[in-house]
Amino acid sequence: MSKRILLVLAICGLAAMASAQADFNRFDFNVGGGLGIGRSYVAAFVGNSYHAEAGAGINFSRLFGVDAEYMYYGLGLRPSVSQNQSLPDASGNLQAISLDGIVNVPRHFGKWKAYGIFGVGFYRRSVSARSQLLAPGTICQAAWVRWWDVNCLNGAIQSAQTMSSMTKDAGGFNYGGGVTYPVPRLHSRLYVEGRYHRAYQSDGQTIVIPISVGLRW
């Protein structure tokens, strides 16, 4: 009798392991986008914006994985900033490549699953505007100093400078979390996620909070 019980338990154990492996994906991909919430100078110059993201990674277990992700975040200036700070046709973006660790919450909430994420990355902030010559004595504007790297002293231009475009690279980090819900027809999972990104450019920190909706598979 004991051997039969052990045999039944062994069969049940193997069945449970097979079932667990059936819905475990070794590789993970995602694509999404949505609202971007600006903070610090992004909030002052841009306000809320939009973003898009795509990534690929590997799951070491059902609880832990890593992925590499690319994010594009729009930095179009507010119309009032463009007009009041003499930045005609101004545009910009923040691009990021990050390496992230993902920790899945063991407890499920029906079909909903939760996860946390933390990573480090490389951030490139680029801005451009119609080229213009800034004459000595011109009153400096906040965006000129922070994002266009214009040199000012006591709030004014000291020597003639040309302002057109500027790119700043920096390291940074991100963290956040989200939830997923299975979409069987697409063989994927819908995800809703919030992240906090901070990059340390030499002229000031760039802080954004992207809220994403997308698919993982």
Q: For residue 162, list its beta bridge partners.
A: 133
What is the structure's pLDDT at 107? 85
Domain ranges of the chain: 26-216
What is the structure's pLDDT at 19? 38
What is the structure's pLDDT at 14? 38
Closest Cα to residue 174, out of 99, 124, 84, 90? Answer: 99
Helix H segments across the chain? Answer: 2-22, 41-45, 79-84, 142-147
Q: For residue 33, list its beta bridge partners.
A: 52, 213
DSSP string for 35-80: EEEEETHHHHHT-SEEEEEEEEEEESSSSEEEEEEEEEEE-PPPHH
What fold characterizes domain 26-216?
Answer: Porin (2.40.160)
What is the structure's pLDDT at 23? 57
What is the structure's pLDDT at 24? 67
Q: For residue 134, list its beta bridge partners.
A: 161
Q: What does the pLDDT profile of the chain (217 residues) look like in tens digits?
A: 544 544 444 444 433 343 344 456 899 999 999 999 999 999 999 999 999 999 999 999 999 999 999 999 999 999 999 999 999 889 999 999 999 999 999 988 889 999 999 999 999 999 999 999 999 999 999 999 999 999 999 989 988 999 999 999 999 999 999 999 999 998 999 999 999 999 999 999 999 999 999 999 9
